[in-house]
A = this chain, B = another copy of it.
């Protein structure tokens, strides 16, 4: 049997209408046939149906079960032929040996979109590969487009759709993802929520027997909810189409990719995971560079970079001014920025003069500017950053956010605020401070990025995230992510980005 014929003209064509994507109905189905869920919570299928129902999917869901009359409270059908309509999508979480037959039944019913969660195909060796080819041929013969096998499907919170086995956590956001690991979708729900980020649509492509990463990229390129596209890559099966499609996207929508197969151990692990044949690290570096894709060295870096790209102004250069009130974190940030190739230009004299009255004598008017312990603590969040960003010598502000609630409470107490109002007044003050940063960033059209050692989901940090100020969990992570964003912005201005 022939493998999937990659590199057909259709692979290279960009979409103008999102509804033309073969993924559209998969990602935005009106109704779903669900195979493999029961009332036994020890099974994967039941977990996945639970997740779907918990997010509140609004269309009809039809469980197919040979014995049960009801599954998780829904009317169940013993055979797909019995369904009262042709559902937009079928989800198969079944033992490997009955997947093919079920696909045929779906085809006979007239279903055109399928997610095959089941494993045991190409990733399991030769006999699995043959079985996978049979899936492809069967799908072709019925005009079915499918995701997988060996995937978790889709998370599209804007459509209240979550086919993965973990409940969706967080909010519908603007981060698109195509992933060769379902885990890096489902297990990132809570992670992204802590960062104040959320998926627009995340696509688990598994073995990519039919719909692949390129199809996902093309969908996300025209998805109106998606601001940034992230990729978890174990291999690129269709490099020519991948490069051409990515190149068409990156000048106006950033793509951030993490590639895992670069080391020998990573390569072997990928092979047994999704049957992926990885290439040498340097090859992928070149490929990403050619396509204007931002390469992340770790999973956390991929999302750090995305957080800065999501909703923030693009830096016009790589000149950073660091603001702190703690010498140590300021010094570490300076060292980290320097090592990442960012420029820490010294303060021009005129700016120094402006700032002198805002900074106490124990502070340092340099870069970093270290305010230390000042009487007017609110200047740290208003007049000082405003002054810094109005200067032409700086493209962005990196600001240390210690933000302990207790300190704000102590200040309010000193202003004779009654004890029973401290909590609400503290919140009001913090929101004001975060709103100010956002306003300053917008006024000057320059990014403002915070860094802090506080928990990402501490209430103080949340105020900033809600006002679109990304807060990186350490100076090093901030420096690395900023440097990546600066390289991308520079690339966008260069000749390679011109179509």
Contact = CB atoms under 8 A, between A and B. Distances in A.
Taking residues whose C-beta sits less than 8 angstroms from the other chain, chain A's interface range is 35 or more
A16 interface: no
Given A183-B327, A269-B330, A328-B179, A410 B366 contact: no
A364 interface: yes
Interface string A411-435: 1011000000000000000000000
Nearest to A262: B335
Interface string A280-321: 000000000000000001111000000000000000000000
Nearest to A45: B373
B362 A120 contact: yes
Interface string A240-279: 0000000000000000001011111110111011100000
Interface string A448-466: 0000011111000000000
Interface string A20-37: 000000000000000000
A58 B453 CA distance: 30
Contacts of A191: 453-454
Contact of A455 (B183, B190, B377): B190
A332 interface: yes
Nearest to A273: B327
Given A274-B327, A414-B41, A260 B332 contact: yes
A467 interface: no
A465 to B, nearest CB: 15
Nearest to A373: B44
A372 B335 contact: no
A368 interface: yes
Interface string A360-397: 01101011101011010100000000000000000000
Interface string A41-85: 110101100100000000000000000000000000000000000
A335 B455 contact: no
Nearest to A118: B362
Given A184-B328, A331-B234, A455-B455, A338 B41 contact: no
A326 interface: yes
Contacts of A455: 190, 194, 455-457
Interface stretch (A1-9, A217-225, A401-409, A482-490): A401-409
Given A326-B187, A327-B181, A362-B120, A335 B41 contact: no
A443 interface: no
B268 A334 contact: yes
A187 B269 contact: no
